[in-house]
Amino acid sequence: MIPCHLTRRANGLYLLTFYSPVIAEIGKTGVQDAYMRPGDPVGVNNLCEWAVKTLWGLELEKLETRKVFMDGGLRGRDANKD
């Protein structure tokens, strides 16, 4: 299992990273958002809420981060196909 950080971005979508995300201001707008660090080996951006609920059963507040684990297994209707 791979430990990862799951963060809800300012746009409502999710960011999955190996390293903890960078929380920074977008330009000079005063709005904070989450970004992956350069070279992050996982670095999956814009996961939808349905995917996060299906995989981890979570719903986070904006800019909230939780530690989750990726196990590499299949889930859903294709998990038991031969």
Contact 33/10 with Cβ under 8 angstroms? yes
Q: How many domains does the chain have?
A: 1
Instruction: Tell me if 59 is assigned to some domain.
Output: yes
CB 15 within 8 A of CB 6: yes
In a domain, 80, yes or no: no
76 found inside a domain: no
Is residue 65 domain-resident? Answer: yes
| Cβ-contact 15, 34 below 8 angstroms | yes
Helices (DSSP H) in the chain: which residue ranges?
Answer: 49-56
In a domain, 49, yes or no: yes
Q: Are 18 and 4 in contact (CB under 8 A)?
A: yes
pTM: 0.83
Contact 64, 7 (CB under 8 A): yes
Q: Is residue 31 part of a domain?
A: yes
Can you give the pLDDT of all 82 residues of the chain as single tens digits? Answer: 889 999 999 999 999 999 999 999 999 899 999 999 999 998 899 999 999 998 899 999 999 999 999 877 666 555 555 5
